[in-house]
Chains A and B, each alone.
Chain A
Amino acid sequence: MGGYCGLCGEPRDDLPHAACDARLALEPPRFCTSCRRRMKVQVTPRGWSAECVEHGVVTG
């Protein structure tokens, strides 16, 4: 699968991230899944957006 875990920032291939994936139901990602940079995250009452300087904005 490759890439990085949005929650803990570790490589996806090395470790199991099921617990991280479950936690992503109750928090936004903090790490870019492409490059592992910490993202600028803004949470709003009904959504969130997270921005990587290199890979742009993801929302949820």
Chain B
Amino acid sequence: MTDILERARDRALDRGEGLSYDELVEVLRLPDDQVPALLELAHGVRMKHCGPEVEVEGIISLKTGGCPEDCHFCSQSGQFTSPVRSVWLDIPQLVRAAEETAATGATEFCIVAAVRGPDERLMSQVRDGIRAIQEAVDINVACSLGMLTQEQVDDLAAMGVHRYNHNLEAARSYFPSVVTTHSYEERWDTCQMVRAAGMELCCGGLVGMGETLEQRAELAAQLAELDPHEVPLNFLNPRPGTPFGDLPLMDSADALRTIAAFRLAMPRTILRYAGGRELTLGDLGTRDGLLGGINAVIVGNYLTTLGRDADEDLALLSDLKMPIKELAKTL
């Protein structure tokens, strides 16, 4: 076994501590023939520090498209010639989506809006939506509504939002190549406010956007510093019309190294498969990632693209003997 794998075993597996930036760079540089041993170690870390359960979540776009921001990977930005049109979901549709999600056994339902930050109209739609969901469905409600003011953070916490998603998206050093309409620091600040208000913080990013391997390690290390409850990991799915629309799909071995590196950076976090895994990893790679550090999935479709059939994912989890995490009853 190579030196870095031995050190990772000692630090992440035995002591439950995340690897440093330099160590993560070494992990990401491991040759192909070491990837199976790396994944096995990352799986061991997940099993020891998180257990065999998998957290299942569904997501829904409450407000699609027409976003004023320019995140170069995003088909919902109004600044690019993407074919995605602006559309709003109504409350009955939102409740139906929450019911469909709960029917898969999922415990989290995340309401997402393509905005810089919420305005009064969106906050009031979210308030009504959460109330309607809470009356009809037994599921935790999460939100992802962009950058927040302190008042909005407090309002969302009071509405019973269990978790708030706000990704760093990219390493600090690569962020200006990905987004120019807001800063990495603004994102970081929203994340800190969310946690201070007592909501669980969900914060991840994308890989495969043309970043260097070192920047991939940097993103993992910066997320580890933030220490979110959940880290969604997206692989770029190049969207037509966006600045990153012509980038190639990420190599699947690199994607698996990244999964393992994220797990070794954050031994105890909920590490979720988010967008792009179907294309980047396929069915076989999806399985490898679940045996390489991933312990949460988004079930069914994404915001503007489709996922694997929910039943296939649930069958895979049952095949892997990974039970779906149940809703914690805190009454």
Contact = CB atoms under 8 A, between A and B. Distances in A.
**Most interface-central of A39, A40, A43 (chain B CB within 10 A):** A43
B304 A45 contact: no
Given A26-B278, A27-B304, A46 B310 contact: yes
B58 interface: yes
B83 A26 contact: no
Contacts of B59: 45
Interface residues of B, number: 29
Interface in B75-97: 83-85, 87, 89, 93, 96-97
A45 B85 contact: no
Contacts of A27: 304-306
Contacts of A34: none
A41 B87 contact: yes
Given A26-B279, A38-B85, A40-B87, A45 B305 contact: no
Nearest to A8: B240
**Most interface-central of B58, B61, B87, B307 (chain A CB within 10 A):** B87
B310 A45 contact: yes
Contacts of B306: 25-28, 43, 48
A42 B83 contact: no
Contacts of B301: 43-48
A45 B300 contact: yes
B300 A42 contact: no
B295 interface: no
Interface in A18-60: 25-28, 30-31, 38-48
Contact of A42 (B89, B104, B279): B89
Contacts of A28: 304-306
Contact of A30 (B60, B83, B300): B83
11 contacts: A26-B278, A26-B305, A28-B304, A31-B83, A39-B85, A44-B96, A44-B97, A45-B299, A47-B301, A48-B301, A48-B306
Task: Give me the 3 closest cross-chain CB pairs, A-B, nearest first.
Answer: A45-B300, A30-B83, A45-B58
